[in-house]
Chains A and B, each alone.
Chain A
Amino acid sequence: MQPGYFPANIIFALIFFAALGFFSFTVYKLYRILRLGQPEDRFDQIGRRLRGVATFVFGQRRVIQEPAGWGHFLIFWGFIIITIGSLETFGVGLYHGFAYWKVIGKPLTAILYLLQDLLCAGVVLALVVSLYRRFVLRPERLRFSDQKAANLDACIIISLILLLVACLFGARGAEYRLTQLEPGRYFPSAAFISVAVSGLFARLSEASLVVWYSFFWWIHTLVILGFLVYVPFSKHLHILGAIPNVFFRRFRPIGELSKMDLEDESVETYGVSKIEEFTWKQLLDLCACTECGRCSENCPAALTGKPLSPKEMIHNLKKHLLAKGKLLTDAKINPEGCAATELKKALAGEVCLTDEIWSCTTCGNCMEHCPVFIEHIPKLVDMRRYLVLMESNFSLEVQTVLRNWETNSNPWGLAFASRGDWAKGLDVQTLAENPEVEYLLYVGCTGSFDTRAKKVTAAMVKLLKQAGVSFGILGAEERCCGETARRLGNEYLFQSMATELTELINGHGVKKIITTCPHCYNTLKNEYPQFGGNWEVLHHSELLHQLLNEGKLKPRRRLDKQITFHDSCYLGRYNNIYEEPREILRSIPGLRLKEMERCRNKSFCCGAGGGRMWMEETLGGASKDQ
């Protein structure tokens, strides 16, 4: 049964093409399932997308942010090398005389074989460490609700790869021996590990060597082909999904949620209540996940015992997609008549529990740390949109705050006519009084009504005046920006608030806006262009930083304190403003800045985003206590 000779090569060819065929068919079925999703254009900026693949896939940039990621780096590159090697193996399977050195020459082959040896050894090391981590160290992020299934899946894969690599070394060892005995064969001695392994075959006869070689070759090849067939059915579907997912990654800022078309009268359902109502890209996300757990590891909800774990959510959505997608793409099944429970499952409610959906603070940690660019937040918001717009399914506190926005344009329901009262005695002009100013200082609801925040607004006014900045406010005319209404899923309310505010601001001919609230900042900057609001929007830390650099503001008084800066999610992760506040703090004499363990893009969410400020925390612990 020596590979490459008749009849082995025929048998191999049959097996090979059967496996390949089966694999292709599986991939085709997956493709059809993805096609169930709604359209989305992710084909812009192809060059940039390709560069992304180079950086994030081949460069493994996000993966190696964590030390454990180097293990994956090894496994990934090992995999690539093994694949390159496998092509030679398959070539040999078809014709025994095929060899790379005959095509690319001996020197290059030597380098290739050396790399193969090193990386395969690296893979073994990485896999042993993986097993140790998963079964001995048991870090939080590898925890899973269905731990047995997850561990089993991992074990199968790891075992298969170890077997594959072991057989590879076995075959190579035997082959090296054969090379000593047969002329016309070449096996580079540079591949020292294989050479070392060949020591096991030292005293065997040629005939035995051929048997051993064939044995290892067949096992190795069958494992590879088996792997090929098995991968789409395990969590290693990730291998197929990750690269396309990185290619199609999101370029729009994460602070820009999609704008629903509410004008179209023919639309009967709003938000996502069925898996096929997600876009194809959102479904592709599910296939890219390998359950590494980096999302959940950084999720404020998961870390404080709430029902939401982004990893589990993606996993549950994937399971549901594959099960339901299979039924929906099966021409023999009529979805209307079929009694399969998977078809009837409510996406928001059964596949994902409503408590899960409402636990998200939209902090963005999940998306920031996902190595394959899965987008968790838009899925949650899409499901919230369904719950809010279609079912009015939300807690009483949420109803209170929605009504407050509708009636008085602020979440506390305080009289809208009193919105400008914070400015009494501060000598600030409204745009109605004086439209010829450079900046609009958009105060926001908190800055207008909350006792502590009003002090921030007053301080900001003082600083702007001191620096001689030309600005005005909207005063009692100001309206809430609606950011939170959108995060809560009430797109209808948000769009009416955004349209109104845009008209108001544009009506005054405003070109530049300063705001003190990161949430207002994010929406005015990234989302209001959807409504015709195209302004230069600055967060107050950006402006103050600028003024400091221009010498227009000079901190004089000493403040002997040690303080730390908490990076707001919507300032940091969402809009990449990390340094400006720090530089402002550093410019104050006497101030000692100490960084928290979780800072910058790993900053821990305060727990109030995504509308959670207005909801009771009945499950788990408080995010703010962490």
Chain B
Amino acid sequence: MEIIVLLKQVPDTETVIKIGEDGKSIATSSIKWVINPYDEYAVEAALRLKDSQGANVTILSLGPQRMVESIRAALAMGADKGVLVDDPAAEGSDALGKARVLAAALKQIPHDLIFCGHRAVDDDENQVGIMVAELLDIPHLGLAVTIEMADGLIKISRPIEGAKVQLESPMPALITLGGAHAIWQPRYASLPGIMKAKKKPLEVKKLADLELSPEQVGAAAAKIMVVSLKMPVPRQSGLMISGDTAAKAKELVRLLHEEANVI
């Protein structure tokens, strides 16, 4: 069985975000790059299937050279090989452009299952994985918190508001991962794993290798783009709410509803 995991590298979630000079991207000077947590769950889920059913797990990434470090980290966990599509022509792509590149790369790699995080915790676009499924014309099962395989069918459960849904699909299919670290508990790479990972095959491809023309991807082909990044109104940490008990309660509810939009 061939499982491909789509992997993206993102700044660690504790990173202090600063807006860059162009006003629409972040400053990358003091960033620690890590595997997108949801993609890490995808790697773990793929490796669990590999452990129980036997499979080859390939990591597929789109991005600059620094992604190699994260691909190697996934290889150290137990994945078998990596493919990186690194082409400046793909820069500036919107989600659909990125999905096109990945779909084109996937057409060249035999696949039964494709796993990926449902979103990346940097740009939070929340679409690339599902778009890849549409472009490949295969079913997708999104936001999985459990994954099982039986009788040649892949089954997931996913949470929706107020309910849990179990979905099932034959292969090939694409699964996007939801959940949290405590649910998936991605394995810690052993030292032999880290050593072996250095020697596992990692191919680097260009758009030309994928039979994609530059007009289909990149900034020029994008339908949507970020025009500016703004820091949220600096909330003083510890905005102390004042007044009597009833007034404080009212104010807190108001703030949570109107400012924070969480209730």
Contact = CB atoms under 8 A, between A and B. Distances in A.
Interface of A: 262, 265, 268-270, 389-392, 394, 396, 399, 402-403, 407-408, 413-418, 492
B87 interface: no
Interface in B164-213: 182, 185, 187-192, 194-195
Contact of A265 (B30, B189, B194, B195): B195
B226 interface: no
Nearest to A410: B14
Contacts of B195: 265
A402 B190 CA distance: 12
B16 A492 contact: no
B12 interface: yes
A414 B191 contact: no
B228 interface: no
Nearest to B193: A392
B189 to A, nearest CB: 7
Given A407-B14, A418-B16, A390 B188 contact: no
B191 A390 contact: yes
Contacts of A415: 14-16
Nearest to B33: A407
B34 A268 contact: no
Contacts of A389: 190-192
Complex A-B, nearest 6 residue pairs according to Cβ-Cβ distance, in ascending order: A389-B191, A415-B14, A392-B188, A417-B16, A392-B190, A407-B12
Contacts of B254: none
Contact of B188 (A269, A399, A418): A399
B248 interface: no
Interface in B198-256: none
B185 A390 contact: no
B24 interface: no
Contact of A414 (B14, B185, B188): B14
Contacts of A390: 190-192
Nearest to A409: B32
Nearest to B31: A417
Given A396-B185, A415-B14, A415-B15, A492 B30 contact: no
A392 B187 contact: yes
Nearest to A392: B188
Given A415-B16, A416-B14, 15 more contacts: A269-B192, A270-B192, A389-B191, A390-B190, A392-B189, A394-B188, A396-B182, A399-B188, A407-B14, A407-B32, A408-B14, A414-B14, A417-B16, A417-B30, A418-B16
A581 B190 CA distance: 42
A454 to B, nearest CB: 16
B190 A417 contact: no
Contacts of B188: 392, 394, 399, 402-403
A415 B14 CA distance: 5
A262 B198 CA distance: 14
Contacts of B32: 407-408, 416
A390 B195 CA distance: 11
Contacts of B189: 392
A392 B191 CA distance: 9
Nearest to B32: A407
A414 B12 CA distance: 10
B14 A413 contact: yes
Most chain B beta-carbon contacts within 10 A, residue among A391, A403, A417: A417
B34 A270 contact: no
A262 B185 CA distance: 27
A614 to B, nearest CB: 14
B199 to A, nearest CB: 10
A196 B185 CA distance: 78
Interface string B1-30: 000000000001011100000000000001
Interface residues of B, number: 17
Nearest to B185: A396
Contacts of B191: 262, 270, 389-390, 492
A407 B192 contact: no
Nearest to A396: B185
Contacts of B15: 415, 417
B260 to A, nearest CB: 21
Contacts of A407: 12, 14, 32, 34
B192 to A, nearest CB: 7
Nearest to B188: A392
A408 B185 contact: no
Contacts of A392: 187-190
A270 B182 CA distance: 28
Nearest to B34: A407
A60 to B, nearest CB: 44
A408 B30 contact: no
A288 to B, nearest CB: 32
A417 B29 CA distance: 11
A262 B194 CA distance: 11
A402 B14 CA distance: 15
A394 B191 CA distance: 14
Nearest to A269: B192
Nearest to A385: B191
Contacts of A270: 191-192
A414 B32 CA distance: 12
Between B32, B187, B194, the greatest number of chain A beta carbons within 10 A of the residue's beta carbon is seen for: B32
A442 B187 CA distance: 33
A413 B190 CA distance: 21
14 contacts: A265-B195, A268-B192, A269-B192, A389-B191, A390-B192, A396-B182, A402-B188, A407-B32, A407-B34, A408-B32, A415-B14, A417-B15, A417-B30, A418-B16
B190 to A, nearest CB: 5
Nearest to A391: B190
A277 B44 CA distance: 32
A269 B191 CA distance: 9
A145 B83 CA distance: 56
Contacts of A417: 15-16, 30
B79 to A, nearest CB: 15
Contacts of A394: 188
A415 B16 CA distance: 7
A448 to B, nearest CB: 14
Nearest to A389: B191
B119 to A, nearest CB: 20
A297 to B, nearest CB: 36
A418 B12 CA distance: 14
A292 to B, nearest CB: 37
Interface string B40-59: 00000000000000000000
Nearest to A414: B14
Nearest to B194: A492
B47 to A, nearest CB: 12
Contacts of B187: 392
A408 B190 contact: no
A433 B180 CA distance: 42
Contacts of B14: 407-408, 413-416
Nearest to A417: B16
A268 B192 CA distance: 7
Contacts of B194: 492
Nearest to A262: B191
Contacts of B182: 396
A269 B185 CA distance: 25
Contacts of A265: 195
Contacts of A492: 191, 194
B33 to A, nearest CB: 10
A416 B30 CA distance: 9
Contacts of A403: 188
A408 B12 CA distance: 8
